[in-house]
Structure 1
Amino acid sequence: MHIHQIMTPEPATVTPERTLQAAAEIMKTSDIGMLPVGEDDRLVGTLTDRDIVVRGLAMGLGPDSTVREAMTTNVLYCFDDEEVSAVTQSLGAEQVRRLPVVNREKRLVGLVSLGDVALQEESRATGQTLRDIVEENGPSG
């Protein structure tokens, strides 16, 4: 099975120049914890609720600060034509719960989460991935 079969297509996104408050409003309205950050039709970062609160507040950023100031620029992603099992291993190895999905032209086409994998893959593989994530990050990671 390929990632494009289980991913969330056309995820909500944010630009680097939007405010953290605007990004948080998108997250609240969409009931999500991560936004891909796009600029000029390219994926340039990700912003999580944790980035806003932990990184942003630690740096003294306020609600009018830009997404660029708090976003993660080392973007991990997967391709839409990758096998789910390979991406599951990557989620565990990288200790992340969500990945932006790009096509081979590196255009954002979706978002895949551990929850998406759990709904499709056998529970044993998902359980191992979750253990890999939690063991490195601790219970709240």
Structure 2
Amino acid sequence: MRVSEAMTRNVSIARPDQSIQEAARMMADIDAGILPVGDNDRLVGMITDRDIAVRAVAAGKGPDAQVADVMTRDVCYCFDDEDLDDVAHNLGEQQIRRIPVVNRDKRLVGILSLGDLAIMQQGPAGEALAGISRPGGMHSQTGNA
């Protein structure tokens, strides 16, 4: 199976020149803790809720600080035509929960998460991980049940 068969295609993308407040609002709207950062559909970084908390808020930056100031620039990614098992193994080795997916022209085409992988797995562990990774619930980013 290829990565393209398991990945999430409709991905919200932050821009480097956006404020971290806008990025946080985007995360809240989609109930996610991470966004790829793109510039003209080219992946230039990733920003997480932890980046905003640790690299921005804890460092005294305000909500108008730019995404580019706190994002991670050195980003691991995979290709949409790679073998899913190989990518899953690499995620485990590197302890990565989500990875941006690009095509061979290095254009962002999706994101692959543990939840996406869990949906492809059979059995209790896959079911549990898929349920845990499902958006919403009492412990969601937005607090909605």
* Superposition TM-score tier, normalisation by shorter sequence: 0.7 to 0.9
Q: How do residues 65-84 of structure 1 correspond to structure 2 at under 5 angstroms? A: 65-84=65-84
Work out the percentage of aligned pairs sharing the same amino acid. 51
Partner of 1:47: 47
Partner of 1:85: 85
Cα displacement string for residues 1-44 of structure 1 (whole angstroms, at most 9, x for unaligned residues)? 11100111030001000000000000000111110000133100
Alignment partners' CA distance in 2, 1:9 and 1:76: 18
Task: Label 1:69 to 1:94 Cα distance change in 2 as closer, same or farther (>3 A).
Answer: same
User: Secondary structure of the residue that 2:44 maps to in structure 1?
Assistant: strand
Partner of 2:31: 31
Amino acid corresponding to residue 21 of structure 1 in structure 2:
Q
Partner of 1:116: 116
State the shift of 1:124 in Å. Answer: 9.2
Alignment partners' CA distance in 2, 1:123 and 1:45: 34
State the shift of 1:111 in Å. Answer: 0.5
Unaligned runs of 5+ in 2: 130-145
Alignment partners' CA distance in 2, 1:12 and 1:24: 12
Cα displacement string for residues 75-130 of structure 1 (whole angstroms, at most 9, x for unaligned residues)? 111100111111111111221100000000000000010111011035699x8xx9
State the shift of 1:65 in Å. Answer: 0.3
Unaligned runs of 5+ in 1: 131-141
| Greater share of helix | 1
Cα displacement string for residues 25-73 of structure 1 (whole angstroms, at most 9, x for unaligned residues)? 0000011111000013310000011111122223221111000011000
Alignment partners' CA distance in 1, 2:6 and 2:41: 23
TM, length-normalised to structure 2: 0.81
Partner of 2:105: 105
